[in-house]
């Protein structure tokens, strides 16, 4: 079996919805097994955000999702990262997951694995591309082989509509107050990214 891991962080559920579409796409490839795992929340953030009903509700829906471990990363042949924007780049929770994986880096244990990114912002120009590109930097240090979302397979990107999707990553726009849910086209592109990561991981790792 080819193994695809989907580690994600999602405060309000948009990334959670997107990674489920990616999971569906990855599972559509024969002989592929998928694990979705959430990156651990910080206590300090939990405390502050627990005053927000939208955060509490979204966390409740994710309570049965297992916490992502470094063993999961070793297990995977391909990884679809679910990374929402925080000030134009990845959340500290996700960076902590990577920063604490120095042992894997040192032994080159993630080298040659396939990676793709799903991201999300509050506003259209809030940093979808910057989050994807800056997240790519540590992923390349680990030796991941990066998979984007080409225009040919994703003609939905050729639009002036306020939706996600770019050559760099699948994405969605949550709206300044988080009230906008992923567009059907965002979900289709997330699904295709999952499928693409799985297909390439299978070709490389069997």
Ligand X SMILES: Cc1cc2nc3c(=O)[nH]c(=O)nc-3n(C[C@H](O)[C@H](O)[C@H](O)COP(=O)(O)O)c2cc1C
> 80 with 68: CB under 8 angstroms?
no
CB 120, min distance to ligand X, A: 3
Question: Please, which residue, 59 or 154, has the CB nearer to ligand X?
Answer: 59
CB 125, min distance to ligand X, A: 7
> 149 with 128: CB under 8 angstroms?
no
Position with the least CB separation from ligand X: 126
Element (H, E) at 103: helix 102-106
Distances (CA, A) of 78 to 38, 171, 183: 16, 19, 25
Q: Which two tokens stand for residue 143?
A: 């030796």
> 156 with 165: CB under 8 angstroms?
yes
Cα(93)–Cα(40) distance, integer angstroms: 7
CB 112, min distance to ligand X, A: 29
Question: Please, which residue, 88 or 138, has the CB nearer to ligand X?
Answer: 88
Question: Please, which residue, 23 or 120, has the CB nearer to ligand X?
Answer: 120
Residues near ligand X (CB under 6 A): 10-16, 84-88, 120-123, 126-127, 174, 178
Question: Please, which residue, 126 or 143, has the CB nearer to ligand X?
Answer: 126
CB 92, min distance to ligand X, A: 9
Q: Which two tokens stand for residue 162?
A: 């306020």
């Amino acid at each position: 079996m080819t193994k695809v891991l989907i580690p994600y962080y999602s405060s309000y559920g948009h990334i959670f919805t997107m990674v489920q579409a990616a999971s569906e796409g990855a599972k559509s490839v024969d002989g592929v097994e998928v694990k979705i795992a959430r990156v651990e929340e910080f206590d300090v953030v939990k405390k502050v955000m627990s005053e927000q009903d939208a955060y509490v509700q979204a966390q409740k829906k994710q309570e049965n999702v297992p916490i992502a471990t470094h063993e999961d990363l070793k297990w995977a042949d391909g990884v679809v990262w679910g990374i929402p924007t925080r000030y134009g780049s990845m959340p500290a929770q996700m960076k902590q997951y990577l920063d604490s994986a120095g042992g894997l880096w040192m032994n080159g244990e993630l080298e040659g694995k396939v990676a793709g990114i799903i991201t999300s912002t509050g506003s259209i120009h809030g940093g979808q591309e910057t989050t994807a590109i800056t997240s790519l930097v540590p992923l390349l240090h680990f030796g991941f082989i990066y998979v984007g979302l080409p225009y040919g397979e994703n003609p939905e990107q050729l639009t002036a509509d306020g939706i996600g999707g770019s050559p760099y990553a699948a994405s969605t726009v949550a709206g300044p107050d988080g009230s906008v849910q992923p567009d059907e086209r965002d979900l289709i592109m997330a699904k295709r990214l999952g499928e693409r990561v799985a297909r390439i991981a299978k070709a490389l790792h069997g």
